[in-house]
Amino acid sequence: MKKIQMVDLISQYQKIKPEVDSAIMQVIENAQFINGPQVAAFQADLEKYLEVKHVIPCANGTDALQIALMALGLVPGDEIITPSFTYIATTEVIALLGLKPVFVDVDKDTFCIDPSLIEEAITPKTKAIVPVHLYGQTSNMEAIMEIATKHNLFVIEDNAQAIGSDYHMPSGDVKSGTIGHVGCTSFFPSKNLGCFGDGGAIFTNDDKLAVSIKMIANHGQSRKYHHDLVGCNSRLDSVQAAVLKIKLMHLDEYISARRKVADYYDNYFANIEGINTPYRGDKSKHVFHQYTLTLEGIDRDGLNSYLAEKDIPSMIYYPIAAHNQKMFASFGSSDTYLPVTDWLTERVLSLPIHTEMEVEQLEHICSAITEYVSLKA
C-alpha cells in the first residue's frame, strides 16, 4: 500500500507529466516568465469554464480577497460580514484594510455562513458580505444575494475551496464564485485546481469592477506609468499559468475522483454512532476539497493522535476560529457569541481525500477509525 497522504500531488503529476513538463519548458525557452502568453490563455480558458465575463489572475488567494475589497471603494471603519469559521486569510485582509470584520455564525450542517443570522448583523456601516464556500460546498447564495440586494450590499465569494462547484439558482445552474459581485480563489498546490507554487484569481461579471481590479493588481496603473489608484503588485507568473491551463482540463475529472472517495467514506460511516459525515446540500454540488467529519461523543483529538500513530494523516480545520484569535481583539471579537462555530472547532476532523486514493488506503483509514471508536466505547 502506498503511503497515505492528505493530498498526493506527486501521483497526480505523474499522470500529466509529459504535458506539464513540455509547457514549463516552453516558458523557460521563451523566457517570458511574467505576463507571458500562457497567462492570457489560462485566463480565457477559466472564463469559458466558469462562464464569467472577467477572470483577473493574481499572485495568491489572499491577494485576490484583498484586491477585491480594495476595488469596492470602501473606507476604514466600514463593516464586512463574514464567518469566523474559515481560514484566517478571509478575515485577515478585512482588518488589514482598516475595515471591521463582523462575525456571523455558520450553519451546523453546511459549515457555511447561516443566512438567517445575517440581517441582524447589518448596521448602517455594513458594506459587504463575504461568504466562504467551506470544504467544497457552496454557501446558500440564493438567500445571501436576496439579503444583499435588499440592503444594497456587495457580495464577495471566497471560493478558494470550491472551484468547480455548481450551484442551482432560480435562473439555472451556475458556478460558485460567479454569483456575487466578485469571486476569489486560490491555486495553492493542494487545492482542487492547484498550481506548482502560489497563485490566485478574481472573477466578476461587472465590467467597471473588472477595470478597477485589473488596475489595482498592477500597481493601480491605467496605462504604463499612470497610476490612478493605490494598488499592489500581484501577478500569476507564466509557469504557474501553464500548469493551471493543463490542470483545468482535468478539473471535472479531479472533482469526480474526490466525490467517489467521499462516497466511500459516506457509505462506510453511515451507521457508526457519533460520526457525522458531510452534509450535501440539494442546491450545491459538493466538490470535497476536504472531507470533514463532525464527531459527537468521540474524542476528536484522541482520534487525531491515534491515526497519526498509524501513519494516517488527519487535519483539524480549524481549531481556533477567527473571533477567538488575538489579532481581532481590538475589534471586540472576543465578545462575539458564535455557539455553532465554537462547537465545530472542538469536533471537526478532516480525512485524507484526493484524486489518487486507492481502495486499500480507504479501507485502512476506515478500519483504523472504527477500531478507535470500538476501543473507546
Residue 2 in any domain: the answer is no
Please check whether residues 296 and 175 belong to one and the same domain.
Answer: no
Please check whether residues 270 and 199 belong to one and the same domain.
Answer: no
Residue 62 in any domain: the answer is yes
342, three cell numbers: 465554537
Residue-wise pLDDT for 177-205, tens only, equals 999 999 999 999 999 999 999 999 999 99
Q: What is the pLDDT of residue 331?
A: 85
Alpha helix segments (H runs only) across 249-358: 251-269, 300-309, 339-345
The contacts of residue 322 (CB under 8 Å, 6+ apart) are: 84, 85, 86, 88, 90, 91, 101, 103, 328, 333
Please check whether residues 326 and 270 belong to one and the same domain.
Answer: yes
Using pLDDT thresholds of 50, 70 and 90, give the confidence band for residue 103: very high
Is-cis flag, bond preceding 318, omega within 30?
Answer: yes
Please check whether residues 145 and 279 belong to one and the same domain.
Answer: no
Please check whether residues 329 and 362 belong to one and the same domain.
Answer: yes
Please check whether residues 321 and 231 belong to one and the same domain.
Answer: no
Taking 90 as the threshold, does the pLDDT of residue 375 lie above it?
no
Q: What is the pLDDT of residue 59?
A: 98
Please check whether residues 170 and 39 belong to one and the same domain.
Answer: yes
Residue where a domain terminates, one of 232, 248, 264: 248
163, three cell numbers: 472551484
Please check whether residues 296 and 192 belong to one and the same domain.
Answer: no
Residue 191 in any domain: the answer is yes
Residue where a domain terminates, one of 186, 213, 248: 248
Residue 210 in any domain: the answer is yes
Please check whether residues 261 and 183 belong to one and the same domain.
Answer: no
Residue where a domain terminates, one of 226, 248, 270: 248
* DSSP-based three-state secondary structure for 32: coil
Q: Which of 166, 112, 103, 105 is nearest to 135 (CA)?
A: 112
Residue span of the structural domain in which 26 resides:
9-105+112-248
Total structural domains in the chain?
2
Q: How far is CA 38 from the centre of its chain?
A: 24
Residue 219 in any domain: the answer is yes
pTM: 0.97
